[in-house]
Amino acid sequence: MLPEPNIAIILLAAGQSRRMGSSNKLLETVGATSMIRHCALEAIASRAHSLHAVLGHQAEAIAAELSDLRLNTVFCARWALGISQSIAAGIAFAEPSEPDAFIIMLGDMPFVTAGLLNALIREFAQTGGRSIIAPTYAGQIGNPVLWARAYATELSSLEGDRGGRLLMEKYSANLHLVEAGDAAACDIDDIITLEAARERGAQKTPYKAH
C-alpha cells in the first residue's frame, strides 16, 4: 500500500467542441462559473499533488480563465489530431516530477468532484503501483480514469481521437472499479446536454469537495 501517492491530474482542455457550434463549450457556464474552471477547482481541491491543463483550441481564452489558479498550462501543438495528442503532451510535461499515477480528466465533465477524484486515489493507494482505477455508473465505465505510471509510455503512444479503452482491455487484470454515480457519465457535447447540465446545476450544487 502506498502511504500517500504522488498523483498528477492531466486536465484535457484542447478540443474544438465542434458540436457546440461557434462557442467553446469549456467556457460555457454551468452553475456560477465556466465548465473548465469547475473542473480545475475540483482537481485542485483533491488529494492530487499537481494539475496540468492541456490547451489547444482557443488556448489563450482557456488560459485566461484559469490564470489565477494553482496549476500548470501545457500547450499541445498537435491538438487537432485528437485527444491522444493531448494525453501525450500532458504526460510528457508531468513525467519529470515522477508521479506514481496520472488521472486523465476531461474538461467537459462539470459534475466530477474532488470527492470522486479522491476515491480513485484511495483505491490506487490500496491496490498498488500497477493499477488502473476507473469509475462506474449503471455498469458502465466512465471518467476520469487513474493510470499507474507504468502505463505512461503506452498512453503516450495512442493515436487519433482515442483515449485508453484499448489499454484497459489489454490490462484488464489490473483494472479496479469504483462506483461513482452519474457524475462519471455526464459529459457535455452539445447545446442539449449543456442546458440539461445547467438545469441540474441550478437544482443542486454538485461541485463541493468532500
Any domain includes 202? no
For 164, which DSSP code?
A: S
User: What DSSP element (H or E) covers 87?
Assistant: helix 83-94
Beta strands in the chain (DSSP E): 7-13, 29-30, 33-34, 50-55, 72-75, 101-106, 132-137, 140-141, 145-148, 175-179
- Average pLDDT on 64-83 reads 96
Any domain includes 207? no
CATH number, domain containing residue 115? 3.90.550.10
Is 123's pLDDT higher than 60? Answer: yes
The pLDDT of residue 18: 64
39: domain range? 7-197
- Average pLDDT on 187-193 reads 74
Any domain includes 186? yes
C-alpha pair distances (Å), 118 with each of 98, 145, 168, 182: 19, 12, 20, 16
- Average pLDDT on 136-149 reads 95
Any domain includes 47? yes
Q: How many domains does one find in the chain? A: 1
The pLDDT of residue 201: 66
Contact indicator for 133, 116 with CB cutoff of 8 Å = no
Share the mean pLDDT of the chain.
Answer: 89
pLDDT of 14-57, one tens digit each?
A: 987 666 666 788 998 887 889 899 999 999 999 999 999 999 99
